[in-house]
Amino acid sequence: MSTSSTNPPERFGLDHLTTPIGTALLVVDADGVLRALDWEDYDRRMRELLRLHYGAVDLRAQRAPADMRSALSGYFEGDLAKLKSIKWRVAGTPFQRKVWTALATIPSGTTLSYGALAAKLDMPRAVRAVGHANGSNPISVVLPCHRLIGADGSLVKYGGGLERKRWLLRHEGVEV
């Protein structure tokens, strides 16, 4: 009989938050830190991203911390700076984490092209890799992948759908 050295599944809490653009799914760890934010209609994709980043995951209904819920609600009500107060933690590759951390530095009300973000990371030839990492961002809105646009200014790809991306950018004062 062999013994298995498999790790137990990561346990995270799952909460739902009603927003003007749909129900957000909030995944938090035992410390109340945000690990994922996605949309209810993309639940399957969110679970797959969690599996890729953490292995086996056990999601259990749990209310997200009140300050996190309040900050997100505040953002959707127009206090854009509230996102900065949310504690988050990501897994992923070192490159992905570098891209995701850079997303958090793009000010609300502004956009950046994928190429400009690659250049900002001192990797100007990594445009496609930046795009791929951006598409794997587990913390939508808080790590504002919606602020990345095409080199020609067009709205391209958004995991939550282009209508949500358009709404988020307009909400932040970007004319699209």
**What would the mean pLDDT of 72-90 be, rounded to a whole number?**
97
The predicted model gives 71-92 an average pLDDT of 97
Q: Using the predicted structure, report yes or no on whether residue 163 has a pLDDT greater than 50.
A: yes
20 carries an active-site annotation: no
Distances (CA, A) of 10 to 15, 35, 64, 99: 16, 11, 17, 24
Amino acid at 134: N
Structure-token match 């992905």, residue found: 96
Candidates 28, 143, 145, 168; catalytic one: 145
Over residues 121-148, mean pLDDT = 96
What CA–CA distances, in Å, run from 96 to 3, 39, 52, 91?
A: 34, 21, 13, 9
Q: Which two tokens stand for residue 33?
A: 């830190």
Residue positions counted in the chain: 176
* CA distance to 34, 71, 82, 101, 143, per residue, from 90 (Å): 8, 19, 19, 9, 10
Q: What is the pLDDT of residues 26-49, one digit of tens each?
A: 999 999 999 999 999 999 999 999
Predicted pLDDT at 3:
46
Q: Give the per-residue pLDDT at 4.
A: 46
